[in-house]
Amino acid sequence: MTPLPRLMVAPNGARRGKADHPALPVTLPEIVETARACAEAGADGLHLHLRDADGAHVLDAGLYREALAELRTVVPGMAIQITTEAVGQYDAPHQRRVALDSGASLVSAALREMTVDTPDKVATEFYRDCAARGIAVQHILYGPEDFDLLIRLVPAPLLRSRDLQLIFVLGRYTRDQESDPSDLAPFLHALTEHDLALDWAICAFGRGETACLVEAHRRGGKLRVGFENSLWHADGQLARDNAERVQAVRAACA
């Protein structure tokens, strides 16, 4: 399995656009150039969202294959993780097909989305298929209650493997989508409670992003930073671009 990068950049996400920040990458050339700049700034991974010709979120295995081929040429040392985020547009079978057919070795998938109208045995078989193909799935957990889904759906050998990858999302479902370092504690408590030794990271929404990432780093976690989750530095100043956020977080965690 491809290991989880220590500092992954999520430069655009599915919802924000140029109106939110002029440096947010939308087209593939913009994403590739952002990847290059962020790799030079110290990111060792990229969380990849693609957009269609109108700038809208799209999940398409063929488009992913094209993007991955270009990114592997331009930033060969950077791990590329694709998203399967539904954004209310795609059903779970489509998400699973994209994950399996895109040619990616790293995939992020929300347990909550993969279980919509899906029998447990189908979801479990999907995780087995990914493992058999060498695809590392980073399971998105929005709250500690999602550990119940993880334990229910992920096959036991994978669940107890140190290769199992998680990401804890801080601040996504608060009223103002603002995160706080204290949001991490319930996730870490659940890890201990379930006796899971695995590869985990966080992302954090809003102006508290840097403080949350520093706390996760202090607790032994890995980090995802970028304009998908926050446009701001720790002092509240708007970041120039994603590469500047990578530099700022590296400095804060040094």
Tell me if 25 sits within 8 A of 31, measured CB to CB.
yes
> For the whole model, what pTM was predicted?
0.97
Q: What's residue 176's pLDDT?
A: 83
Tell me if 227 sits within 8 A of 21, measured CB to CB.
yes
Question: Does 1 reside within a domain?
Answer: no
Buried b (16+ CB within 10 A) or exposed e, 31-50: bbebbebbbebebbbbbbbb
Question: Does 164 reside within a domain?
Answer: yes
Q: How many CA atoms lie within 13 A of 234 on its CB side?
A: 14
Question: Does 2 reside within a domain?
Answer: no
Residue 77 CB coordination number (10 Å): 7
Give the pLDDT confidence of 106-163 residue by residue, as tens digits: 999 999 999 999 999 999 999 999 999 999 999 999 999 999 999 999 999 999 988 8
Domain count of the fold of the chain = 1
- The parent domain of residue 35 ranges over 7-253
Q: For residues 211 and 103, what is the distance between their CA atoms, to the nearest angstrom?
A: 35
Q: What's residue 44's pLDDT?
A: 98
Two tokens, residue 44: 């060792």
- Average pLDDT for 175-200: 93
Question: Does 130 reside within a domain?
Answer: yes
Question: Does 209 reside within a domain?
Answer: yes
> How far apart, in Å, are the Cα atoms of 112 and each of 3, 22, 158, 219?
23, 32, 18, 26
Domain containing 38 — which CATH number? 3.20.20.70
Q: Closest by alpha carbon to 83, among 91, 95, 68, 71?
A: 95
Q: Closest by alpha carbon to 169, among 85, 232, 250?
A: 85
Give the pLDDT confidence of 30-60 residue by residue, as tens digits: 999 999 999 999 999 999 999 999 999 999 9
- pLDDT level of residue 199 (50, 70, 90 thresholds): very high
Question: Does 131 reside within a domain?
Answer: yes
